[in-house]
Structure 1
Amino acid sequence: MLRPPPLLLAAVVSLLALLGLGVSGTAAAAKPLSDDDADYVIIAGAAGLRWDDIDAERTPTLWMLAERGAIGSLSTRSAHVPTCPGDGWLTLGAGNYAERTTTEVGEVCPKLDVAIERPDAIGAYLPDQRAVVERQRELPFGTVPGALPESVRCTAAVGQGAAVAAARSFGRVDRYAPELPADPTSTLSKCLLSIVDLGSVDGLTPQRRAKQVQAADAVLAKIVKGRPERSTLLVAGVSDTDRTSRLHVVIADGRGWTGGWLTSASTGRPGYLELVDLAPTALSMLGRDAPKKIMAGHAAAHAQGRPDDLGEATAAGTDADRQAAAARTVSAWFFWLLALAQIGLFAAVVPLLRRSYRHAGPTGPTPPPERVVRLLELLLVGAALAMPAALITGIVPWWRFGQRGLIFFAVTGLVLALLTVLTVRLPVSRARTLGPVGAVAAIAAAVVGLDLVTGAKLQLNGVAGYSALEGGRYAGIGMVGMGVFFAAVLLSAACLAQLVPQRRRPLLVAGVGAVPILLVGTPAWGADAGGAIALTAGVCLTAALCPGGWLNFRRLAVALGIGLVVAVGFAYVDLHRPVEQQGSLGRFLAQFADGTSGLTLNRLGSANRIALVTSPLTVLALVAAVFMWAVLMRPWGGLKRLYGIYPPVRAAVVGIAVASVLGGLLGGAALNVAGTAAATALPLLTLGAMRVLGHAADRTRIVEESVSADTPVGVSGA
């Protein structure tokens, strides 16, 4: 590891990774429009408003604004699940994740019923605001109710929901009206910021919903008619209305917001905004800076690429909403079924491993039938390919049909069967012990890698990806894709390293790991600098251990040194990018510099705790660790023999463990990344262990004439 070629290649890898950060991502084309500041900003919100509610005939005002302005899909994530109207309006006014609903939500969110006192004829007072503020202090987000109205001199509110958003932290609403007057010109021009409640769209029947949307459109028509000159209008579906979380409407209409998509640094993908982005957006439109210490969102920006036909654009929003809702329901079943299926498969393998173990005694267990061995090998290959198959299924629009869950599982099963048959019939899978391991790893790495370079379209709102409804990620590589990618890349590197002499293995592993690090860290592709750092650590440790031997101080020092160089480089470049193009790492370092990183750390810690106790992938990660220790590492388990004959495999396992755990912690996913990596790697390790037990003729053989004293003899690929 201390020879010049590996170090030279590591330096090249670092340089490529850093240059990759200069490639613009989807958010790079979006530029905040600070030159077109508005004199007035009006936020018109309707709880539950979705893109499938809007058409040219029933909602002419909404259709006109959408055709003229910039549009997007709004994720209404708040501190409460689901985001009921009270939570949505409070989150809007705070610019941070907030919670107002205190009762258990059944099928339908409770009606918004806020006590509003009118001590004078101008403003209003919310008597329960003190309790609301105290409740937010118990949450990990650092939310301050009323942060938006506190950032401007005067705020006008119309309706109960608007009063919740416009109330200052002590409960005062500067100007308040229960409903919009027939001529709202005076109401909308008295303050720089006006917030109007258009009503809720919560009808359980299509007829009732249509009437509510038409009523909201009629109120919006009055706003459009009476809005002041040089005003910008934001229309948003500020919350859900039942337990089914959905994506909602967001429209910006005003100077500089003509056509195109809405996006922000929070989402990094054209056509998507978060609810917490609306408060910073309103302040940005007024030429004011958002208080970063208490607001979690980022100002909206304008991005190109929207279809010229509005019907096509709104259909895309409706389709994304349906896909996200369907994937959220199906994903829970998919991951629990995957976890249970793999646990059952591992249990079935135990007696076969014991019967396959050949010891030196005069008698031994009867070898298992060849058909049983082939069947289990087939099932193990299929188990490792389950998540890549689910990712590929996203190509088929299964969410557009009835019985969506059945269609998804049917298509995924078909894709999985094709991939499995392809893998086992490859010549390399038959000729070499590690053949199927390398083939599966290469397929999985190719599926995730190709998805990243084509815009991560299969991961967005995919069952094996991430959901815009969760509000955590909208572009780049997700936690599930990260686990699959880490395991696949490092196992592929290990299988290739087995084919070359010992002294060249670190060079090969570093070279194979260079492109994946670039893919994960570049904003245009993976957009996860923390994940790139985690993968760098895994690649460095794999390179250090792949010649064989133990992880001594010299190897560890070199691996950590290279990893530190890449980490510092990623951090430096990301920190010095424009704010709207920064990744999570750059934003965190900027917050650390101005003293606001505590809120991010609290949110990250909370996300890790929730993911740890609620995800089936956590169960799979723990089961994988127990299975490796209690079964595979036993003398009859085969893994020790696999490690002895193929040292790069052991190196890859160490690298996968370090990279996946580190990537999960940095991403707020706890053991989810490790669980996903285990779901890909453990079936392959079990398959390899079965094969080396069955291939008793496999032996370690020397491939180099001279080997260093602290390195064991290398092996060839059998």
Structure 2
Amino acid sequence: MNHPVRPSAAVLRALAVLIAGLCVFAAAGGTAYGQEQKLLAKVVVIGVPGLSWNDVKASPELTALVNQSHVGSITVKTAGPHTCPVDGWLTISAGTRAWGNVPDQSCGDLPGLVDGKVQDWQTYVDRQAEHHTGAPLGRLAESRERGAPICGFGPGAAIALARTDGTVGNWQPEFDQVKLASTACGDAIVDAGALPLREGRDEARKRVADLVAQVRAADGWVLLVGISQVEANAHQEPLVAMQLPPDNGPRWLTSDSTRRPGLIQLTDVTATILRGEAKPIDPAGSEQAGPLDGNEIHFTGDLHTDAATVIEDRLDTNQRFEQPRPMLVAVAMTLLVAQLAALAWFVITRSQRSRSTFVFTLLSQGGFFIAVFLSTATSWWRWPEPGFSLYCVVLAISALFAGVSRAVLREHAYLGILGAAYGLLLVDGVLGTPLQFGSMFTDGPVIGGRFYGFGNSTFATLAVAALVLAGWAAQKLIDRSRVQAALAVLAIGGAAIIVDGKPGWGTDFGGIVALTPAVLLLAWLTWRGGISWKALLGICAAGAVAVSGVAFLDYLRPEDERSHFGTFVARLLDGDVSDVLIRKLQMSLGFYDSPAGWAMLVGVLLAMLATIRPDKVPSESYRRFYTSLPMIRPTLLALSACGLIGMLLNDAGVALPAIMTGLALPLLVAHLVDNRTPATPQTRTLSVEVSDG
């Protein structure tokens, strides 16, 4: 029996602890992969558009460099849809992702110099404003005007070393070994030229190896990197990165911007050249530009001494990054076809076998949200036919979780799936998200998305699991004490918020913006049974305080240790946040450029409407389910609140609540189909457990 409960100091204290705990944890973030060492010697960057690990494998000269180098892969994603050579060199110039090429056009030749100025320079500057990249072209040159001189050789180097007005100094059209070795050059950038697509590629690879040998004679260390793709429609893949000579033996290149051994990104090249010697200057005047997107390159990990093994590892890793996106579509379509076929069989026959089959296919979709992460543990990219292997592994794990959950928990099957997802993601977050990287739910290096932490799809999975499990736990306790039930919500939801938001763990700024108020709303509704406008505003304010505290504490850390929480605050304080917000808004609105985006919006709004107006849903079993137990309505409202806030404030837009619906709705339908008995006092506990799913 439920009794009226007076406001309890325990619940208020728990709310305060949740907010304070999230803020405190933000101050303790760090790298996830152990001891590193920095490269602080003279920097000579050799940029080669199109240099892939297949080129290294095919060239004895380049293969010979592997055991003499710290090695890795470099992601060359820039601001535009394609990374042509001009995009790559402009990105090095700005230290943030720049947009150089014109969409739907071929890459073309690099602009030349006319009277000491890059031709059409203003066009590239205007293009950054047009696309809101926020890339301050010329930052590299301007920031080193008063430091050690940087020399440039070749047309790409001219673009990288152009000042904010497009003028170039200390540059030569061809490589000059004598000048590089002189005191006129501190650091240097060398354009080795794009590799030919077909004829002449072997000779070009040999010339690159010869150039490395010449540059090494100038002392310091050499960074050989693939700077871009060669064509707009080229196969997208991470390219080659080597640093010679290696310190303490050949190891793996990395940076704080990726936090992954063996992986750097293009903007790390600029950060490494600058090495903190000077603050970048905004081209508009004396104000400082926003922070660099990259971080100084490091080396880390174990020694590697077998060039063939290293090359195969890099090629396998490319498969890991390339296959998940197309296989995601293939697996999703397979599950959809299976569900439609099972539904048709059930509608036609109404047999118990067809009912069980339909329920199994729905539960398999829930299992899919676990399989996308666990599949990473199988190292499928090292198997024969990696794409097909990933497809089979994900479907097998999805079916396994559906079958085991149904066999062991029967109508409680949803609890096994959501409990596994919740526990798996919490552990993975604390460990630095090793299962996220290269999974179907993480935009990898080819896309230029997250290199660490929780992405939008991962957050959506965690949010559904946390809110539903919190609602289930609250229902178990609500008859005993509303206070205890509310505290259970805060404990389960709070753990998810902390892991999702803590820098170095989930590092998900947009996620905690959406999840924190949803958890607080669910806790309040559990505690009080209803909510006033005043309380609703208080919950929103408390959520804003928690999120702001996390971001500000991350900002107080050293610049090279900040996550994108602190970077956002830095941009905000520098007045450089408008382009970021506009780009995120454009990404959010971009979903509506296709019918699929509008279809997602209609589906999401209908799902949210069902949580507010169940009487409008043409399903008697759903209407009966909605009113059967006290915690069903609060849990569904919390899910809708989380999805709505995420849709409005996250760059994923409508995709975020659509993913949440893709997990929650099949489990709910499976319950309604599988449990045909109306709620009664005898089936009360059973109904709430499944209904919260």
* Compared CA separation, residues 339 and 658, structure 1 to 2 (3 A): farther
Match status 1:142 vs 2:122: no
Alignment match, 1:671: 654
Shift of 1:61: 7.0
Match status 1:197 vs 2:191: yes
> Identity of counterpart residues, as a percentage?
24
Match status 1:321 vs 2:318: yes
Match status 1:173 vs 2:161: no
Q: More displaced, 150-159 or 49-58?
A: 49-58
Counterparts of residues 95-494 of structure 1 (less than 5 Å): 95-102=95-102, 104=104, 110-117=107-114, 119=115, 124-153=116-145, 155-181=150-176, 183-186=177-180, 189-204=183-198, 209-225=201-217, 227=218, 231-242=220-231, 243-253=234-244, 260-284=251-275, 287-291=277-281, 293=289, 296-302=292-298, 304-309=300-305, 311=307, 315-335=312-332, 344=340, 368-401=350-383, 403-427=385-409, 429-430=410-411, 435-494=412-471
For the aligned residue pairs, the C-alpha RMSD in angstroms reads 3.6
1:640 to 623, 636, 656: 623
SS of 1:184's equivalent? helix
Looking at structure 1, the residues matched to 363 and 380 of structure 2 have their Cα atoms a distance apart, in angstroms, of: 25
Looking at structure 1, the residues matched to 406 and 251 of structure 2 have their Cα atoms a distance apart, in angstroms, of: 48
Looking at structure 1, the residues matched to 182 and 241 of structure 2 have their Cα atoms a distance apart, in angstroms, of: 20
Say if 1:328 and 1:467, in contact at 8 Å, map to a contact too. no
Shift of 1:627: 5.3
Looking at structure 1, the residues matched to 680 and 354 of structure 2 have their Cα atoms a distance apart, in angstroms, of: 21
Shift of 1:251: 3.6
Looking at structure 2, the residues matched to 412 and 31 of structure 1 have their Cα atoms a distance apart, in angstroms, of: 34
* Compared CA separation, residues 308 and 473, structure 1 to 2 (3 A): same
Say if 1:30 and 1:302, in contact at 8 Å, map to a contact too. no
Paired residue type of 1:669: A
1:654 to 630, 634, 637: 637
Say if 1:642 and 1:688, in contact at 8 Å, map to a contact too. no
Count of residues in Structure 1 that have an aligned counterpart in Structure 2: 666
SS of 1:250's equivalent? strand
Shift of 1:417: 1.5
SS of 2:393's equivalent? helix
Looking at structure 1, the residues matched to 272 and 598 of structure 2 have their Cα atoms a distance apart, in angstroms, of: 37
* Compared CA separation, residues 642 and 468, structure 1 to 2 (3 A): same
Deviation string 1:400-430 (CA, Å, 9 cap, x unpaired) is: 4554433322222211221111111124x34
Alignment match, 2:84: 84
* Compared CA separation, residues 305 and 267, structure 1 to 2 (3 A): same
Deviation string 1:667-709 (CA, Å, 9 cap, x unpaired) is: 52222222221111111222333456x2125359999xxxxxx
Paired residue type of 2:96: N
Say if 1:484 and 1:677, in contact at 8 Å, map to a contact too. yes
Say if 2:415 and 2:690, in contact at 8 Å, map to a contact too. no
* Compared CA separation, residues 621 and 65, structure 1 to 2 (3 A): farther
SS of 1:234's equivalent? strand
Paired residue type of 1:81: P
Looking at structure 1, the residues matched to 397 and 598 of structure 2 have their Cα atoms a distance apart, in angstroms, of: 26
Alignment match, 1:537: 517
* Compared CA separation, residues 418 and 64, structure 1 to 2 (3 A): closer
* Compared CA separation, residues 700 and 562, structure 1 to 2 (3 A): farther
Looking at structure 2, the residues matched to 695 and 474 of structure 1 have their Cα atoms a distance apart, in angstroms, of: 47
Deviation string 1:273-322 (CA, Å, 9 cap, x unpaired) is: 2212322321126x222346256423314353244436455554433222
* Compared CA separation, residues 577 and 186, structure 1 to 2 (3 A): closer
Alignment match, 2:677: 695
1:623 to 581, 603, 608: 603
* Compared CA separation, residues 202 and 543, structure 1 to 2 (3 A): farther
Paired residue type of 2:652: A
Deviation string 1:366-393 (CA, Å, 9 cap, x unpaired) is: x944333323222221122222223222
* Compared CA separation, residues 680 and 16, structure 1 to 2 (3 A): same
Looking at structure 1, the residues matched to 91 and 299 of structure 2 have their Cα atoms a distance apart, in angstroms, of: 25
SS of 1:484's equivalent? helix
Looking at structure 2, the residues matched to 471 and 495 of structure 1 have their Cα atoms a distance apart, in angstroms, of: 38
Looking at structure 2, the residues matched to 348 and 376 of structure 1 have their Cα atoms a distance apart, in angstroms, of: 9
Say if 1:77 and 1:471, in contact at 8 Å, map to a contact too. yes
Shift of 1:562: 4.3
Paired residue type of 2:296: A
2:475 to 498, 514, 520: 498
1:596 to 569, 576, 581: 576
Deviation string 1:461-512 (CA, Å, 9 cap, x unpaired) is: 2223231222221011111111111111111122222222241321111111
Match status 1:579 vs 2:556: no
* Compared CA separation, residues 116 and 600, structure 1 to 2 (3 A): same
What TM-score does the superposition give when structure 1 sets the normalisation length? 0.82
Looking at structure 2, the residues matched to 345 and 596 of structure 1 have their Cα atoms a distance apart, in angstroms, of: 52
Alignment match, 2:284: none
Looking at structure 1, the residues matched to 674 and 537 of structure 2 have their Cα atoms a distance apart, in angstroms, of: 35
Match status 1:12 vs 2:23: no
SS of 2:43's equivalent? strand
Shift of 1:59: 1.9
Say if 1:43 and 1:233, in contact at 8 Å, map to a contact too. yes
SS of 2:523's equivalent? helix
SS of 2:627's equivalent? helix
Deviation string 1:439-458 (CA, Å, 9 cap, x unpaired) is: 22112223333332333222
Looking at structure 2, the residues matched to 667 and 261 of structure 1 have their Cα atoms a distance apart, in angstroms, of: 34
Shift of 1:184: 3.3
* Compared CA separation, residues 592 and 651, structure 1 to 2 (3 A): same
Say if 1:456 and 1:475, in contact at 8 Å, map to a contact too. yes
Looking at structure 2, the residues matched to 340 and 112 of structure 1 have their Cα atoms a distance apart, in angstroms, of: 47
Looking at structure 1, the residues matched to 391 and 688 of structure 2 have their Cα atoms a distance apart, in angstroms, of: 41
* Compared CA separation, residues 634 and 438, structure 1 to 2 (3 A): same
SS of 2:163's equivalent? coil
SS of 1:99's equivalent? coil
SS of 1:47's equivalent? coil
Instruction: Name structure 1 gaps, 5 residues minimum.
Output: 356-366, 704-713
Looking at structure 2, the residues matched to 659 and 716 of structure 1 have their Cα atoms a distance apart, in angstroms, of: 21
What TM-score does the superposition give when structure 2 sets the normalisation length? 0.85
Looking at structure 1, the residues matched to 173 and 64 of structure 2 have their Cα atoms a distance apart, in angstroms, of: 22
Say if 1:700 and 1:716, in contact at 8 Å, map to a contact too. no
Looking at structure 2, the residues matched to 305 and 102 of structure 1 have their Cα atoms a distance apart, in angstroms, of: 40
Looking at structure 2, the residues matched to 64 and 681 of structure 1 have their Cα atoms a distance apart, in angstroms, of: 50
Shift of 1:188: 6.2
SS of 2:476's equivalent? coil
SS of 2:112's equivalent? coil
Alignment match, 2:590: 610
Alignment match, 2:285: none
Deviation string 1:56-79 (CA, Å, 9 cap, x unpaired) is: 942267436514xxx432111112
* Compared CA separation, residues 537 and 254, structure 1 to 2 (3 A): farther
* Compared CA separation, residues 8 and 53, structure 1 to 2 (3 A): same
* Compared CA separation, residues 133 and 590, structure 1 to 2 (3 A): closer
Looking at structure 1, the residues matched to 684 and 373 of structure 2 have their Cα atoms a distance apart, in angstroms, of: 41
Looking at structure 1, the residues matched to 649 and 262 of structure 2 have their Cα atoms a distance apart, in angstroms, of: 26
SS of 1:26's equivalent? coil
Paired residue type of 1:417: A
Looking at structure 2, the residues matched to 660 and 103 of structure 1 have their Cα atoms a distance apart, in angstroms, of: 33
Instruction: Name structure 2 gaps, 5 residues minimum.
Output: 1-5, 282-287
Alignment match, 1:513: 493
